[in-house]
């Protein structure tokens, strides 16, 4: 008998038929004698639909009310799933975050789970019941409803697994595991049987939305092994766990991409000490995250161009701050948000020379221009024109033997 946390994503609970199918997966686990806690997402598309409704009221819809609104999607699926289990003659109960409670810290729409009371859950499990918990949300110390970031049901599952000391944390989704790249975009993508926390964290931070990055981070911090598997097939999934147990045969494990970034260039910036600090200090104070930075060599020894990337949502604010910050002199400020970030990730990269060259040569063979570069021990990212995204992923997938 094991204590299992099972998380079902939006597509898995997207229709009544699918909710009934999920109920049967849980029934099987329950009848096998396991204690099951299920975490559910909202029906696929629901959260976006709710955001759209709020935008019809205002582009700057009140953040507190937005959390109240968005948390409702998961409440609906929790009750429907509990009802479906009850129909199968299983004791089941939804417990909303404030009833448990699951405590969060931090601002609305971006809170973090810090603790949870386990009493009600454990009592109900001891009575041979199944507990259903809405993912993606919590309650603050001031009893306000909070949400924990898009895709946050993954983070709820990991936090609940940790606090309940569960034996397994299984992420049921619409693909049968983590692939070398998005299998819905590149059909030759290969399923990965085992992947380390570090690699998964890089892949998800760089755009592979199959796991939310903060969920992976928590799993890594507390060493909670995860399994990503399909709701719709019984094929073996992907195990995410500590690197020590993985044998690396390939230098690159996966290719990820995202279209969240934008490139900003300050043209004709004075070339003297302290300029870079003057540019990035006000941005950091405004909590704007700068990812890649390139400074051109100045041809006239007086001025230079500084290019950097930020999240697309931050472009307007970044330009506004730089315009208003009188300490920086420049001729012009331009931006390009039709760019994509394409990254290769692999723990085996550390011990394989020539990866950088191979990536750049591959992209140049496809006629793809690299606009910015950033590297770390186990990843290499480039910014390219958005139109080249698919070509770049295909090429990298092939040259690093992932097809």
Contact status, residue 35 vs residue 91, Cβ threshold 8 Å? no
Could you tell me where the DSSP H helices lie in 145-233?
153-164, 197-205, 213-222
Q: CB 318 → ligand ADP: shortest distance, Å? A: 27
The correct pick among 34, 41, 196, 204 for binding ligand ASP (CB under 6 A) is 41
Could you tell me where the DSSP H helices lie in 286-386?
315-324, 355-365
Query: Quick check: 175 binds ligand ADP (CB under 6 A)?
Result: yes
Residue 320 CB: number of other CB atoms within 10 A? 11
Query: Quick check: 14 binds ligand ASP (CB under 6 A)?
Result: no
Please work out, in degrees rounded to the nearest 5, the angle formed at the alpha carbon of residue 5 by the alpha carbons of 108 and 214: 40
Residues that bind Mg ion (CB under 5 A): 9, 151
In our burial notation (b when 16+ CB lie closer than 10 A, e otherwise), range 333-363 reads bebbbebbbbbbbbbbbeeeeebeebbeebb
Of 148-156, 247-255, 360-368, 377-385, which part binds ligand ASP (CB under 6 A)? 148-156
- Taking the C-alpha atoms of residue 100 and residue 15, their distance in angstroms, rounded to an integer, is 27
Binders of ligand ADP among residues 185 to 214 (CB under 6 A) are 208-210
Contact status, residue 80 vs residue 16, Cβ threshold 8 Å? yes
Query: Quick check: 47 binds ligand ASP (CB under 6 A)?
Result: yes
Contact status, residue 198 vs residue 220, Cβ threshold 8 Å? yes
Q: CB 41 → ligand ASP: shortest distance, Å? A: 3
Q: CB 93 → ligand ADP: shortest distance, Å? A: 23
Binders of ligand ADP among residues 20 to 39 (CB under 6 A) are none
Smallest Cα–Cα separation from 73: which of 19, 135, 25? 135
Residue 150: contacted member of ligand ADP, ligand ASP, Mg ion, none (CB under 5 to 8 Å, by partner type): ligand ASP
Q: CB 249 → ligand ADP: shortest distance, Å? A: 18
Query: Quick check: 136 binds ligand ADP (CB under 6 A)?
Result: no
Please work out, in degrees rounded to the nearest 5, the angle formed at the alpha carbon of residue 86 by the alpha carbons of 83 and 88: 115
Helices (H) and strands (E) in the chain, counts: 11, 20
Smallest Cα–Cα separation from 122: which of 83, 153, 95? 95
Residue 182: contacted member of ligand ADP, ligand ASP, Mg ion, none (CB under 5 to 8 Å, by partner type): ligand ADP
The correct pick among 129, 151, 207, 254 for binding ligand ASP (CB under 6 A) is 151
The correct pick among 8, 124, 136, 172 for binding ligand ASP (CB under 6 A) is 136
Q: CB 211 → ligand ASP: shortest distance, Å? A: 10
Query: Quick check: 11 binds ligand ASP (CB under 6 A)?
Result: no
Query: Quick check: 153 binds ligand ASP (CB under 6 A)?
Result: yes
The correct pick among 11, 34, 146, 307 for binding ligand ADP (CB under 6 A) is 11
Query: Quick check: 73 binds ligand ASP (CB under 6 A)?
Result: yes
- Taking the C-alpha atoms of residue 148 and residue 278, their distance in angstroms, rounded to an integer, is 33
Residue 136: contacted member of Mg ion, ligand ADP, ligand ASP, none (CB under 5 to 8 Å, by partner type): ligand ASP
Contact status, residue 126 vs residue 164, Cβ threshold 8 Å? no
- Taking the C-alpha atoms of residue 40 and residue 84, their distance in angstroms, rounded to an integer, is 13
Closer to Mg ion by CB, 166 or 216: give it. Answer: 216
Residues in contact with ligand ADP by the rule CB under 6 A: 9-12, 41, 151, 173-175, 178-179, 181-184, 208-210, 254
């Amino acid at each position: 008998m094991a204590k299992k946390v099972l998380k079902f994503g939006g597509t898995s609970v997207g229709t009544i038929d699918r909710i009934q199918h999920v109920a049967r997966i849980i029934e099987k686990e329950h009848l096998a004698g396991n204690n099951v806690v299920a975490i559910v997402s909202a029906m696929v598309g629901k959260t976006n639909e709710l955001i759209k409704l709020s935008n019809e009221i205002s582009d700057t819809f009140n953040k507190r009310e937005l959390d109240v609104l968005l948390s409702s999607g998961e409440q609906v699926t929790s009750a429907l799933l509990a009802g479906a289990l009850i129909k199968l003659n299983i004791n089941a109960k939804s417990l909303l975050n404030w009833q448990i409670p699951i405590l969060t810290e931090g601002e609305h729409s971006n809170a973090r789970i810090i603790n949870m009371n386990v009493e009600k859950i454990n009592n109900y499990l001891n009575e041979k019941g199944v507990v259903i918990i809405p993912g993606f949300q919590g309650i603050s110390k001031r009893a306000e409803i909070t949400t924990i970031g898009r895709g946050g049901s993954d983070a709820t599952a990991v936090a609940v697994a940790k606090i309940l000391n569960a034996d397994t944390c299984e992420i049921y989704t619409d693909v049968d595991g983590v692939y070398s790249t998005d299998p819905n975009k590149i059909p030759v993508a290969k399923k990965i049987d085992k992947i380390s926390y570090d690699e998964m964290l890089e892949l998800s931070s760089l755009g592979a939305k199959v796991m939310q990055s903060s969920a992976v981070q928590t799993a890594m911090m507390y060493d909670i092994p995860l399994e990503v598997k399909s709701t719709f097939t019984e094929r073996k999934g992907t195990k995410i766990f500590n690197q020590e147990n993985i044998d690396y045969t390939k230098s690159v494990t996966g290719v990820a991409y995202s279209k969240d970034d934008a490139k900003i260039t300050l043209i004709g910036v004075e070339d003297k000490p302290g300029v870079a600090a003057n540019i990035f200090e006000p941005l950091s104070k405004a909590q704007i995250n700068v990812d890649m930075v390139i400074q051109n060599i100045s041809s006239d020894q007086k001025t230079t161009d500084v290019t950097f990337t930020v999240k697309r949502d931050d472009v307007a604010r970044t330009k506004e701050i730089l315009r208003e910050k009188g300490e920086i002199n420049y001729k012009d400020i331009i931006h390009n948000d039709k760019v994509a970030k394409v990254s290769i990730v692999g723990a085996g990269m550390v011990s394989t020379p020539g990866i950088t060259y191979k990536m750049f040569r591959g992209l140049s063979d496809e006629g793809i221009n690299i606009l910015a570069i950033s590297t770390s021990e186990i990843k290499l990212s480039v910014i390219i024109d958005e139109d080249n995204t698919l070509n770049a992923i295909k090429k990298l997938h092939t040259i690093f033997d992932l097809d």
